Amino acid sequence: MYSLLKPLHGRLRLNPKPTNAMIRKVLPLILFLCSIAVFAQTTVENLDKILNERFSATDPGAAVLVVQNDKVLLRKGYGIAEINRKVPVSPDMVFRIGSITKQFTSTAILKLIEEGKLSLQDDVNKYLPDFKTQYPITIEHLLNHTSGIKSYTSVPERMTTEAKKTKVSVAEMMGYIQSYPNDFKPGEKWLYNNSAYFLLGAVIEKVTGKSYNDYISQTFFKPLKMTASYPDDSKPIARQAGGYKKEASEGWSMADYVHPSIPYAAGSIFSTVDDLWKWNQAVFNYKLVKKELLEKAWEPTKTTNGSVESYGYGWQLGKVGDVKAIGHGGGIDGFLSFELYVPEKKIYVALLANTTTINPEDIAYTLAEEVAGIRGDKPEAITLAAEAGDQYVGVYKINDREDRVITRNGNQYFSQRAGGTKFEIYPYAADQFAFTESNTKIKFARDASGNVSEMEMLDRAFVPSRAVKTNKPIPAERTVFNLNPTDFDVFVGEYELAPGFLIKVWREESAYKAQATGQSPFEMFPESATKFFLKVVDAQIEFSRNEQGEVTQMTLFQGGRAMPGKKVK
């Protein structure tokens, strides 16, 4: 029995016992509210479980923020921020955010466009007359990565350990960038380009008369009260996480220092998950740039050769389920990051990590899919007769450089992009397959004769990628060579493929291991006495000797490229 107390003429009156009719009206509401609370609690527990599975309490980790409908579902640190003192990651800690910086640069450019101080179609030389270009390049070409200029981060000698430590002026870097010929004509192709955003920073300085750092701080950080965000490290930053790399035998060590003048407007900013949430709210509530202009930044890029890319102006475009997700990732020595926003569902995720051994994009999307209630929502498998299944087997051309291979082994099917990991897929409907370990699906199309002719990848990319079936033969399966384990010991050592980028090789009994700088170890399998192949990705490694019979070099074969590396240790 219970009572309801109600005020009556300034006094409290004891109501009579509720009737069955009253209970019937109230009970469904109570049950509904309880179910919401249970669902919310389950979601938070699942988010925490996802992150605990990916981050160890004793290794470098991440600060994570998950928000839905402006309500914080999870705000937590995982792992260690500073190994020597065993300081755990706290969600208010500062991290280097890398290329998430491009959102700030892009928004600054759009704000100047809105103010009438420049135009998307302006020639870059209008503002940077000393920067000589092979072809006319517009502001828009820089924003959407279609300029064709050489990205300085793709040039090994520019990215050596020593070069990255040294402060460089904007003029010096511009001179370096223009010393290389274009990779392609502007607008013809899409290729992610840090040089483009470096130049946009220079344009901002020219138009505003302020340094990039001052403009970003005064225009965005201060008004939005982003008190823990900085465009450089010119002053001490409190509660900053250290950036780490992992080596095979030595374990964790501090990553190389990168002077902020090197990434500049392409990736110099330091921030927190809380400040990035403030930024996201301001952007998507159109407090910084008007809606009509900002929405151009969230549309796919179209090239003159007919391709469409899931990238706008400083934002990557993806999907959570069937709705658009807008975000960006970042990577700089010792740090990885990713943040995304799903406008239709009002889901926001920010992940800032001080390790380079995780996939922040996959984790962020997994968290968003969990909040959206679509994670693990996989279709039921069906069985295909061998003859029917073989219709899908083949080599599919993605572009001029890459293929995707579909293979069958009994009732098992696999998909592998050239140079990538081999994933199991399964049929669930006519001409439709799903990936076993993700929400990605493949939809096959047929020609007028009913033959399988094309495939479409339905993954997290906003624009599905297509590949056309070819007559190329399926690459032969590699067989393991019977190698005496001790014969492998002559290959043990470190090989430098580029300045600051090494592959370390060692043996664990009869298992042959290798690890690239900043990446997780992988196992190699002998194909001959000197050549090995990987199973995690489509790649091979071959060792070479000099005239004296000493092992002096390895060559990595991956994605159609041969990358030699000298033995340095």
pLDDT tens digit sequence for 8-35: 333 333 344 455 555 555 555 555 455 4
Q: Is 97 helix (H, G, I), strand (E, B) or coil?
A: coil
SS in 3 state form for 153-196?
A: HHCHHHHCHHHHHCCCCHHHHHHHHHCCCCCCCCCCCCCCCHHH
CB 73 within 8 A of CB 348: no
- With contact defined as beta carbons under 8 Å apart, do 456 and 466 qualify? yes
What is d(CA 26, CA 23) in angstroms, rounded to the nearest whole number?
A: 5
- Render pLDDT for 403-452 as a digit per residue (tens, 0 to 9): 899 999 999 999 988 767 788 999 999 999 999 988 889 999 999 999 99
Whether domain 485-567 has CATH 3.40.50.300: no
Strands, DSSP E only, in 20-93? 62-68, 71-78, 80-82, 87-88
Coil, helix or strand for 413?
Answer: strand
- The CATH code of the domain at 386-469 is 2.40.128.50
User: Quick one: pLDDT at residue 40?
Assistant: 58
Q: Which residues pair with 555 in a beta bridge?
A: 542, 564
Domain boundaries, the chain: 5-47, 62-372, 386-469, 485-567
Q: Which CATH number is associated with domain 62-372?
A: 3.40.710.10
The residue type of 319 is: K
What tokens were used for 433?
């397959």
- What pLDDT shows up at residue 18? 52
Burial call 454-483: b when 16+ CB within 10 Å, e when fewer: ebebbbbbbbbbbbebeeeeeeeebeeeeb
pTM, rounded to two decimals: 0.79
User: Which segments within 465-517 are labelled E, that is strand?
Assistant: 465-469, 493-498, 501-508, 511-516
Could you report the average pLDDT of every consecutive run of 10 residues in the chain (569 residues)? 31 44 55 50 88 94 97 97 94 97 98 97 96 94 96 79 85 93 93 96 98 97 96 81 80 89 96 98 97 95 92 96 95 94 98 93 94 86 95 91 90 86 92 90 96 94 93 87 93 84 89 83 92 86 92 87 87
Same fold, 62-372 and 386-469: no
Please report the pLDDT score of residue 478 as a whole number.
82
